[in-house]
Chains A and B, each alone.
Chain A
């Protein structure tokens, strides 16, 4: 299936100079807010990528990955604690980080360093429905949309940036060139064309009579 190009709609002209933050709202083609979209700002004058300050945790709890989407700076170490009573088997067939952590026990923890940018899809060989996305970025300016589809970016200096918006249901991140002024306080609204939801539904547990 061809994924239609991402449409970026600027509702307010220009961004005020001197502002160090602005807010985005991501909506789908129907106008509904999109949760778990990753928005990031990439500086043109490729600055040095900051060293990640802390580890990130993606837990395996109740036979699900938590969180579903994790944006992080390249080089970040991710800890995978197994909080379930069953074993899990993390694997990734994604080019930026191919790996597997075969069957490891409840209560233990595995760590993986994501050292290449790109999207890494995590699965579990035991539980087909378990899925998590790790978005490895070469910028410290990123955020994840909340339930209202809103994300807040801050801490950057005014200048020219490339805005990238990614979501599990798009094949490529959508991009947009922006010039950000210091004193403006812009509010941006972005519309995404999402693929149909194909996440498999988890089998209901302990509800129907067993075999």
Chain B
């Protein structure tokens, strides 16, 4: 299963990461801001609605006070009393008097003034013929006034089909004698809605009726007001969201009881969109900032990615160069940051690898591969260990005369050809060239790598050397050169093997009496009495596990040693 977030390119990963993080944070910010704006707007509208309800109440209260004042003055008016002083009450006169009062208080938009007897009978009204429903409304109000301590009553009602505020006051002549009742109705339709809208910036509608309310007055357009009436249930609602023509309005519905009629609903609203208009600007700015920062982040991500992936690609390519063994090419980074340090590290590594390669090469040429390996593995620490080894010395015969008769360069060439063949023979049988001493070869078997059959290896190597020399001599003969001869001494003994020398310069070698004996045996081959070019000690013969054709040469005295040493000549082997 592969994760969708595995990217082949670092650039893509960085781009996705940066844009993703920024996008998420901006989206969260946008959502939170939008939500907060909406909540704030709804809260603000609800507060405005609550204020609107209070404003309506205070407008109604103020108008009621105006109306009461007008009614009281009217009821106490001298002319009003005069109507009742005459013997025969004249309804026509009373009506015209009421109309005259209506003119006086024109500002109050009073559609009806009514005069009732103390018992509630209609005496006169400004319309001449108040319908029964209105008379009932006024009569209910009169009864309320009579029952109240102040002999006054106010309320809402439909007077001449106009939604009105009503007041009822007594005509006292003299107080507290009630001679008649004076009722005033005051239209609170369009003007109130407009005044309330002006004060509160709310849409104001008056509806009436039960299940299917009808619009009395509204600051909304006629179509919206009709839609409002359709969508309104006859229920008081503190705050709700109501869609009018698809636009949400926060709406409050308050019930007003009317005197002797259906209740009236005052509906206050404000468009949520209108309230959110300032916030929308903020949201658009946030959106713009988001898009701009995403674009900037994308550019930054690509730039950063380029700044990282390009050098990384170059570094990766450079590792391939180093892997090929090219330690000479250098990375050129003109930067001091981590990548610059890395490139520098690469370059130092190349230098180090080159040096190490060179050292290893030189080591291989100066010491045998086994010694070189041992040195590289264990380090060049001074000291040694005792072990049994077989030491082989080989010396070129007549080399001195040869070097005298030939130019030195040719001498070296010849010597190198000889040493090369000998070395090959020795190494082919597990021997290690310890050192070249001029034309002399010192080789070890069983050190530094332990060999339990080091004697067998040494003897096999000696025979191979003899064969290799014969081959070389055949080549020399073909070249018209005189043949070469050598002498080989082999001894097996316990010696100390290790790094010998100083801290600064050392050789891997073996030290011990057995080494000297091997050298002495080599020099014994010069003695013609032995008639052999390869002499081995009895110790070697004993150490050998295979059967070798040897010829005992008896015991000899060795220089620097007490006692005799039994020596043997290595014959050519009959079996392979």
Contacts of A200 in B (CB 8 A): 172, 175-176
Contacts of B147 in A (CB 8 A): 1
A122 to B175 CA separation, bound complex (whole angstroms): 10
Tell me how far the C-beta of B122 lies from the nearest C-beta in chain A, rounded to whole angstroms: 19
Select which of A1, A93, A196, A198 is within 8 A of B173 by beta carbon.
Answer: A93
Contacts of B175 in A (CB 8 A): 123, 128-129, 131, 198-200
Interface residue A100 (Cβ < 8 Å from any Cβ of B): yes
Tell me how far the C-beta of A102 lies from the nearest C-beta in chain B, rounded to whole angstroms: 10
Contact B146 A91 (CB under 8 A): no
Contact B176 A91 (CB under 8 A): no
Interface residue A185 (Cβ < 8 Å from any Cβ of B): no
A23 to B81 CA separation, bound complex (whole angstroms): 41
Q: Which residue of A lies closest to B76 (CB)?
A: A128
Interface residue A117 (Cβ < 8 Å from any Cβ of B): no
Contact A91 B173 (CB under 8 A): yes
Interface centre among B147, B172, B175 (most CB of A within 10 A): B175
A190-209 Cβ-contact flags toward B at 8 Å (1 or 0): 00000010111000000000
Contact B177 A121 (CB under 8 A): yes
Using A1-B147, A125-B81 as known contacts, say yes or no to A98 and B174 having CB atoms under 8 A apart. Answer: no
Contact B149 A196 (CB under 8 A): yes
Contact B85 A91 (CB under 8 A): yes
Contacts of A131 in B (CB 8 A): 174-175, 177
Contacts of B176 in A (CB 8 A): 198-200
Contact A100 B85 (CB under 8 A): yes
A25 to B87 CA separation, bound complex (whole angstroms): 39
Interface residue B309 (Cβ < 8 Å from any Cβ of A): no
Interface size on B, as a range, is: 10 to 19
Interface residue B200 (Cβ < 8 Å from any Cβ of A): no
Tell me how far the C-beta of B1 lies from the nearest C-beta in chain A, rounded to whole angstroms: 94
Contacts of B149 in A (CB 8 A): 196
Interface residue A15 (Cβ < 8 Å from any Cβ of B): no
Select which of A98, A125, A130, A196 is within 8 A of B87 by beta carbon.
Answer: A98
Using A123-B173, A128-B174 as known contacts, say yes or no to A93 and B146 having CB atoms under 8 A apart. Answer: no
Number of A-B contacts (CB under 8 A): 44
Contact B85 A98 (CB under 8 A): yes
Tell me how far the C-beta of B539 lies from the nearest C-beta in chain A, rounded to whole angstroms: 151
Contact B151 A93 (CB under 8 A): no
Of residues 264 through 293 on chain B, the ones whose CB sits less than 8 Å from some CB of chain A are none
A86 to B460 CA separation, bound complex (whole angstroms): 169
Contacts of A98 in B (CB 8 A): 85, 87
A128 to B176 CA separation, bound complex (whole angstroms): 10
B151-180 Cβ-contact flags toward A at 8 Å (1 or 0): 100000000000000000000111111010
A97 to B76 CA separation, bound complex (whole angstroms): 21
Q: Which residue of A lies closest to B176 (CB)?
A: A198
Contact B81 A198 (CB under 8 A): no
Contacts of A59 in B (CB 8 A): none
Interface residue B78 (Cβ < 8 Å from any Cβ of A): yes
Contact A198 B151 (CB under 8 A): yes
Interface residue A143 (Cβ < 8 Å from any Cβ of B): no
Q: Which residue of A lies closest to B174 (CB)?
A: A123
Interface residue A38 (Cβ < 8 Å from any Cβ of B): no
Of residues 173 through 195 on chain B, the ones whose CB sits less than 8 Å from some CB of chain A are 173-177, 179
Contact B76 A93 (CB under 8 A): no
Contact B146 A121 (CB under 8 A): no
Q: Which residue of B lies closest to A121 (CB)?
A: B177
A198 to B177 CA separation, bound complex (whole angstroms): 9
Contact A93 B87 (CB under 8 A): no
Interface residue A124 (Cβ < 8 Å from any Cβ of B): yes
Q: Which residue of B lies closest to A119 (CB)?
A: B177
Interface residue B84 (Cβ < 8 Å from any Cβ of A): yes
Q: Which residue of A lies closest to B146 (CB)?
A: A1
Contact B87 A122 (CB under 8 A): no
Contact A93 B179 (CB under 8 A): yes
Contacts of A93 in B (CB 8 A): 81, 84-85, 173, 177, 179
Q: Which residue of B lies closest to A126 (CB)?
A: B78
Contacts of A122 in B (CB 8 A): 174
Tell me how far the C-beta of B391 lies from the nearest C-beta in chain A, rounded to whole angstroms: 145
Contacts of A121 in B (CB 8 A): 174, 177
Q: Which residue of B lies closest to A195 (CB)?
A: B176
29 A-B pairs with C-beta separation under 8 A: A1-B146, A91-B81, A91-B85, A91-B173, A91-B174, A93-B81, A93-B84, A93-B85, A93-B173, A93-B177, A93-B179, A98-B87, A121-B177, A123-B173, A123-B175, A124-B174, A125-B81, A128-B76, A128-B174, A129-B174, A129-B175, A131-B174, A131-B175, A196-B149, A198-B175, A198-B176, A199-B176, A200-B175, A200-B176
In the complex, besides A129-B175, A131-B174, 15 extra interface pairs with C-beta distance below 8 angstroms are A1-B146, A91-B81, A91-B173, A93-B81, A93-B173, A93-B177, A98-B85, A121-B174, A121-B177, A123-B177, A124-B174, A128-B175, A131-B175, A196-B149, A198-B176
Nearest 6 Cβ contacts at the A-B interface: A123-B174, A198-B176, A200-B175, A131-B174, A93-B84, A121-B177
